[in-house]
Amino acid sequence: MRRGPPRSGSRSPPPGGPPSLTPRRGPPERTAARGPAASPAGGVWLHGLHPVAAALGNPARRLRRLLLTEEAEAALAERLPPPWRIAPERVERGRFATFLAEDAVHQGAALLAEPLPDLPLDRALEHGPGPVLVLDQVTDPRNVGAILRSAAAFGAAALVMQDRHAPPETGALARAASGALEIVPVVREVNLARALDSLKKAGLWVVGLAGEAPVTLAQAGLGGRRVALVLGAEGEGMRRLTREHCDELCRLPIAPEMESLNVSAAAAVALYELARR
């Protein structure tokens, strides 16, 4: 479904058969700060029925443990009929408070999995003919998750972020993405300006969203061009070097009473406009 096989050197699944339906050792204890505990080395806890079902159905995702309440197991079976690639462990609802954040909406389902393997930009472009989203220092995992959800809905080929100044793969990001993390390839680049140059060489027209741009996205006359759409962080917007590597700057036609849109809302509106063409 995405990102190809895991890189060499990634962790192998534990030896032996699938885990017992009787819970083995408990998940990690909660940290003193009452936030989510650190996942086992190299792993991430995905939670919520939709993210868990999407990860179970993604052959590129390597799985470690699946914890379900009785109700969640029945609900998950309706979304994704068994057998699954990993046997579930039946747990009580209170168990999730020991390894997830207190405000995590888990619906009685949590999956310990390895992060998806990195994908090179050139391979991500082969995912489909749609636009490519580029995020310049967007750091809120829920915003990134919501952008991924819109990207999947409107047929974007990939999402490009910096290796630094971007959120890692977390349960909160996957929850906000509502399954799209398993659908839309995510590419992490050390140098975003260099990545924009690579997109240009691949034939994409790089369009940056900026509130002060002279034309709207609809007025830009993009025709049949394949677009790489660049969005900056809320408040600061795109950095100067990122702007200089765009082919064109465009804006969204929002009412003057509102200075800007949330970056995930702006991404959804812009992707709809590109899809409408």
Per-residue pLDDT reduced to its tens digit, 215-254: 999 999 897 899 999 999 877 889 999 999 999 999 999 8
- Identify the domain boundary among 53, 87, 116: 116
- Identify the domain boundary among 56, 89, 116: 116
SS3 label, residue 100: coil
Helix (H) or strand (E) holding 124: helix 121-124
pLDDT in tens, 117-140: 888 999 999 998 999 999 999 999
Structure-block tokens of residue 147: 């952008």
CATH of the domain at 178: 3.40.1280.10
- Identify the domain boundary among 116, 135, 152: 116
Q: Which of the four pLDDT bands, split at 50, 70 and 90, describes residue 12?
A: very low
Beta-sheet pairing, 158-162 with 132-136: parallel
Shared domain check, 147 and 242: yes
Shared domain check, 264 and 131: yes
Shared domain check, 147 and 104: no
pLDDT of residue 27: 40
Q: In the chain, where do the E strands start and end? A: 44-47, 63-68, 89-90, 109-113, 132-136, 158-162, 186-189, 205-209, 227-232, 248-250
Residue 78 lies in a domain: yes
The domain in which residue 208 lies consists of 121-276
Across the chain, mean pLDDT equals 86
Q: What angle do CA 155, 158, 120 make, to 5 degrees?
A: 150
Calculate the alpha carbon distances from 259 to 114, 134, 147, 248, 262 in Å: 40, 22, 20, 21, 10
Q: What are the φ/ψ torsions at residue 213 (nearest 5 degrees)?
A: -60, 150
| Model confidence at 152: pLDDT above 80 | yes
pTM: 0.82
Q: Output the furthest CA–CA distance in the chain (Å, rounded).
A: 63
Task: Tell me how many domains the chain contains.
Answer: 2
Shared domain check, 130 and 111: no
Shared domain check, 186 and 140: yes
SS3 label, residue 237: strand
Shared domain check, 132 and 108: no
CB 98, CB 30: distance < 8 Å:
yes
